[in-house]
Chains A and B, each alone.
Chain A
C-alpha cells in the first residue's frame, strides 16, 4: 500500500498569509495525486487533480505542484473561508486508492 504522509499536521495562518501544505508518497505515484478541502459539517471538495490542475470553480489562490514523490498545495493568500482540513490522495496504485492524514488549516 502506498502511504501518503502530510505535514504539518496543523497550520495556523493570518488572513492574507500564504503557506505550503506538503504530502509525500512512500513510492512513486507519478503525477496521480489529488487534493481535497474538508470543512466541518460539509462534504469534501475536490481542489486539484493530476498534481497541479485546478478543478472547476476552484480559486486561483490554490495551486499544486510536484517534485518527485513530494507534492505541495499552496494557498497563496488565506481567506477565512479556507479554514478546514486538506487531504492529498494518490490514484497511481489503482484500484488501491489512499489518502494522507490531513493538514488542518486555521486562522491565527
Chain B
C-alpha cells in the first residue's frame, strides 16, 4: 500500500522559513516523479512543485519561484520542500503526492498545515 507521510508544518511568522518532509513507503520511490500540492483555507487546490525521479529536473509554481525549492533523497525515500521568505498567502495544507511523470496526481498524503501569521 502506498503511504506518504508529511511532517514539518507549523506556525511561522511572515518572512520566516520552514522545511517540509515526506516519507514514502509501499512503492519504489526512486522510480516516480513526486510533487507538492497545497490547499489554502476555504480555497481550491494549487500545484506547487514537481521533481523528477532522479532529481535531474525540478519545477515550481511561479509565485514561489526563488522562495521555495524541492528536493529528494531516494536513499531515504524522502521528499522535501524548503520554504523561505514565507508570506501570509502561503498558508495552506501542503500535500506530498506521487505523480505520473509530473502530470497528474495519483497518490496523496494526509497533508501538513503551514500557517504564516504574525
Residues of A at the B interface (CB closer than 8 Å) are 32, 34, 36, 38, 42-46, 49, 55, 85, 87, 89, 91, 94-102
Q: Which residues of A contact B108 (CB under 8 A)?
A: 43-45
B contact residues around A45 at 8 Å (CB)? 108
Contact B102–A43 (Cβ < 8 Å): no
A91 touches B103 (CB 8 A): yes
Q: A99-B45, A99-B46, A101-B44 are in contact. Are A91 and B110 (CB under 8 A)?
A: no
B47 touches A99 (CB 8 A): yes
Question: Does B95 lie within 8 Å of A32, measured CB to CB?
Answer: no
State whether the Cβ of B27 lies closer than 8 Å to any Cβ in chain A. no
B104: chain A residues at CB < 8 Å are 34, 46, 49, 89, 91
Specify the chain B residue showing the minimal Cβ separation from A92: B103
Chain A, interface SS category:
loop
Quote the shortest CB–CB distance from B18 to chain A (angstroms). Answer: 20
Query: Which of under 10, 10 to 19, 20 to 34, or 35 or more describes the interface residues of B?
Result: 20 to 34
With A and B bound together, what is the CA distance between A36 and B95 in angstroms?
14
Contacts of B45 in A (CB 8 A): 36, 38, 44, 87, 89, 99, 102
Contact yes or no, A95 B44, CB < 8 A: no
| Chain B: minimal CB distance from A41 (Å) | 9
Q: Which chain B positions have C-beta within 8 A of A89?
A: 45, 47, 104-105
Q: Across the interface, which residues of A come within 8 angstroms of B102, CB to CB?
A: 94-95
Given A46-B104, A99-B47, A100-B44, 10 more A-B residue pairs with CB atoms under 8 Å apart are A32-B103, A34-B103, A43-B95, A44-B95, A46-B106, A85-B44, A89-B45, A89-B104, A98-B47, A99-B45
